[in-house]
């Protein structure tokens, strides 16, 4: 691939996509990984399990894109036609690859299940296709180079595809593609309104390169820098000084960058300082604990949680019943006491308590979306109120993000002393 723009196209293959049975998350996942490689995604096409439509889409893609990435259609059934379509479009013949077949048979042997005749199909390839190993499934991928085009075929199962992309495809593309490198850096803040954040970095807006955008997200205000240059080094030299200046101005409210999440950042701070955490949740119903434990290694700092959906359960877990009587179960006082009680109950350094109204019905006359978050530590508690859109699942997700970011703030303050 020469200099300048490298156009890419994604073909998401499968009739289940066109029937609306599954959402094409693969395309978005891949799309976000192309710009850093200097590849510009121009088209995404969803096409069904139809040989005619598949070959049509592939021919069109060859006519307008240098890099063509397909997902899906590599299974063992008669519907899986990606291999056949690529062979037909390139005028090559499919034959069984003995090495692939042996590998496939070994895969089934390891699992102690007999290999069906149908699976032999997955061991087939065309001469110009380099097989890409798929340790997470039975469908090997293909890497095909022809006339300045690269065709990559990957399975549709997300965790198989992602593993293959990271280990086989991305490194090869890095070698091949010499396009305009696009570097992005997202700086994530919390605790200041969008307008005020914008004012603090006003002077960096309206520039072409690096371009600065500002976005309001459930986990705070994000600033995204985009730099374009012929090489990674040049792009970085454009991006770095602006990033440093922004970091300096927003230091106290920055909690993370890029794909860092509140749960990862909270986990890192807890781990570094050998602190432990326990949570008691009502309206979030376990989503807070589940989000915390999505992070690998969370068992080193997460002691556990209680989902106390009833007042009795809260009292049984150490919450002062008089506070519930006096202030109601949806109150800052009860949120703080839940944090205190669970912290003591699990003998943790920090505790979080969440109480609120997930909806659809109001509670104690408070509308859905009303949430109180309590945080407890050695010798202190505090609470914040949240008001979110009155959608049950939105309330749960927003409240969890909010609680984690408030905890991060408390932890960061402790670290700074």
- Does 257 interact with a copy of itself (rule: CB under 8 A)? no
DSSP 3-state of 375: strand
Q: From the CB of 31, what's the least distance to a copy of itself, in Å?
A: 3
- Does 21 interact with a copy of itself (rule: CB under 8 A)? yes
- Does 339 interact with a copy of itself (rule: CB under 8 A)? no
- Does 78 interact with a copy of itself (rule: CB under 8 A)? no
Cis status, amide bond into 360, omega within 30 of 0 = yes
Dihedral over Cα of 308, 310, 316, 320: its sign: positive
Q: From the CB of 20, what's the least distance to a copy of itself, in Å?
A: 3
Q: From the CB of 390, what's the least distance to a copy of itself, in Å?
A: 9
Backbone angles phi, psi at 184, to 5 degrees: -125, 150
By beta-carbon proximity to a copy of itself, the closer residue of 16 and 92 is 16
- Does 120 interact with a copy of itself (rule: CB under 8 A)? no
| Interface residue with a copy of itself, options 3, 4, 28, 166 (CB under 8 A) | 28
- Return the range that interacts with a copy of itself (CB under 8 A); candidates 84-92, 98-106, 309-317, 329-337: 309-317
CA distance 382 to 380: 7
Q: Are 80 and 22 a contacting pair, CB within 8 Å?
A: no
- Does 292 interact with a copy of itself (rule: CB under 8 A)? yes
| Interface residue with a copy of itself, options 192, 254, 268, 313 (CB under 8 A) | 313
- Return the range that interacts with a copy of itself (CB under 8 A); candidates 203-211, 301-309, 318-326, 375-383: 301-309
**Nearest residue to 348 (alpha-carbon basis) of 317, 316, 387, 302:** 302
| Interface residue with a copy of itself, options 19, 78, 233, 251 (CB under 8 A) | 19
| Interface residue with a copy of itself, options 3, 4, 5, 25 (CB under 8 A) | 25
- Return the range that interacts with a copy of itself (CB under 8 A); candidates 38-46, 119-127, 265-273, 329-337: 38-46
Dihedral over Cα of 272, 300, 335, 338: its sign: negative
- Does 264 interact with a copy of itself (rule: CB under 8 A)? no
Q: Are 266 and 292 a contacting pair, CB within 8 Å?
A: yes
Q: Are 220 and 189 a contacting pair, CB within 8 Å?
A: yes
Q: From the CB of 198, what's the least distance to a copy of itself, in Å?
A: 13
Q: Residue 112 class from Cβ within 10 Å (0-12 exposed, 13-18 middle, 19+ buried)? A: exposed
Q: From the CB of 159, what's the least distance to a copy of itself, in Å?
A: 6
Both structure tokens of 17: 């996509």
By beta-carbon proximity to a copy of itself, the closer residue of 251 and 296 is 296
For the chain, how far is it from start to end, CA to CA, in angstroms?
53
- Return the range that interacts with a copy of itself (CB under 8 A); candidates 26-34, 238-246, 378-386, 403-411: 26-34
- Does 48 interact with a copy of itself (rule: CB under 8 A)? yes
By beta-carbon proximity to a copy of itself, the closer residue of 17 and 269 is 17
CA distance 383 to 404: 13
**Nearest residue to 71 (alpha-carbon basis) of 125, 14, 129, 122:** 14
How many residues interact with a copy of itself (rule CB under 8 A)? 69
| Interface residue with a copy of itself, options 104, 225, 288, 330 (CB under 8 A) | 288
Q: How far is CA 9 from CA 18, 134, 145, 147, 416, in A?
A: 18, 22, 15, 16, 48
**Nearest residue to 1 (alpha-carbon basis) of 39, 45, 31, 42:** 39
Q: Are 214 and 221 a contacting pair, CB within 8 Å?
A: yes
- Does 139 interact with a copy of itself (rule: CB under 8 A)? no
- Residues at the interface with a copy of itself (CB under 8 A): 12, 17-25, 27-35, 41-48, 53, 136, 159, 184, 279, 281, 284-294, 296, 298-299, 302-310, 313, 316, 345-346, 358-360, 389, 391-394, 396
């Amino acid at each position: 691939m020469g200099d300048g723009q490298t156009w890419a196209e994604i073909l998401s293959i499968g009739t289940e996509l066109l029937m609306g049975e599954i959402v094409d998350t693969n395309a978005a996942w891949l799309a976000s990984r192309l710009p850093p490689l200097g590849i510009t995604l121009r088209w995404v096409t969803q096409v069904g399990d139809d040989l005619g439509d598949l070959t049509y889409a592939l021919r069109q893609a060859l006519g307008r894109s240098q890099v063509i990435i397909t997902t899906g259609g590599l299974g063992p059934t008669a519907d899986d036609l990606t291999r056949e379509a690529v062979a037909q479009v390139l005028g090559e013949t499919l034959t069984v690859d003995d090495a692939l077949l042996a590998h496939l048979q070994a895969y089934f042997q390891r699992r102690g299940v007999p290999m069906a005749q149908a699976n032999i199909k997955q061991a087939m390839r065309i001469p110009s296709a380099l097989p890409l190993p798929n340790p997470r499934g039975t469908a090997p991928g293909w890497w095909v180079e022809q006339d300045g085009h690269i065709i990559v075929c990957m399975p549709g199962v997300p965790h198989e595809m992602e593993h293959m992309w990271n280990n086989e495809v991305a490194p090869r593309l890095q070698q091949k593609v010499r396009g305009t490198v696009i570097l992005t850096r997202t700086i994530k803040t919390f605790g200041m309104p969008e307008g005020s954040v914008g004012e603090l970095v006003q002077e960096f807006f309206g520039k072409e390169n690096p371009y600065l955008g500002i976005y309001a997200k459930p986990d705070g205000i994000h600033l995204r820098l985009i730099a374009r240059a012929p090489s990674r080094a040049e792009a970085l030299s454009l991006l770095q000084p602006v990033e440093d200046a922004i970091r300096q101005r927003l230091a106290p409210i920055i909690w993370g960058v890029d794909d860092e999440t509140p749960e990862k950042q909270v986990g890192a701070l807890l781990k570094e300082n050998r602190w432990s955490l326990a949570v008691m949740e009502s309206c979030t119903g376990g989503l807070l604990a589940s989000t915390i434990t999505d992070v690998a290694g969370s068992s080193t700092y997460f002691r556990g949680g209680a989902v106390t959906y009833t007042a009795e359960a809260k009292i049984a877990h150490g919450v002062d019943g008089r506070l519930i009587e006096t202030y109601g179960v949806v109150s800052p006082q009860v949120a703080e006491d839940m944090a205190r009680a669970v912290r003591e109950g699990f003998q943790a350094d920090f505790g979080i308590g969440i109480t609120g109204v997930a909806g659809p019905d109001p509670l104690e006359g408070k509308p859905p979306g009303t949430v109180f978050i309590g945080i407890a530590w050695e010798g202190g508690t505090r609470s914040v109120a949240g008001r979110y859109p009155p959608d049950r699942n939105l309330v749960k997700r927003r409240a969890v993000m909010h609680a984690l970011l408030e905890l991060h703030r408390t932890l960061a303050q402790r670290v700074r002393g």
